[in-house]
């Protein structure tokens, strides 16, 4: 069944896409924070540790997804 639907390939592409989204989104948040910009309507502090953790998770997911898509 997985061969017919290509679920293995779809899963790898979804991991790659989600990893890239996490990586780009948190990278942009960190970049804007460094420039002193703050989104409107946001209350609370910038959590640098959370951004670095999610950047690492996004990088790991992107590498895993890319290896699965290109290697498989």
Q: Could you read off the pLDDT of 9-24 as tens digits, one per residue? A: 899 999 999 999 999 9
Angle formed by the axes of helices 7-34 and 48-71, to 10°? 150
What is the rounded distance in angstroms from the CA atom of residue 61 to the CA atom of residue 64? 5
58: exposed, middle or buried (Cβ count in 10 Å: 0-12, 13-18, 19+): buried
Quick one: pLDDT at residue 43? 84
Q: Report the chain's mean pLDDT, rounded to a whole number.
A: 91
25 or 44: whose pLDDT is higher? 25
């Amino acid at each position: 069944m997985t061969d017919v639907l290509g679920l293995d390939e779809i899963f790898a592409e979804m991991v790659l896409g989600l990893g890239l989204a996490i990586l780009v989104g948190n990278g942009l948040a960190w970049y804007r924070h460094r420039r002193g910009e703050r989104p409107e309507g946001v209350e609370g502090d910038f959590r640098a540790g959370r951004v670095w953790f999610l950047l690492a998770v996004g990088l790991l997911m992107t590498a895993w997804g890319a290896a699965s898509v290109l290697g498989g």
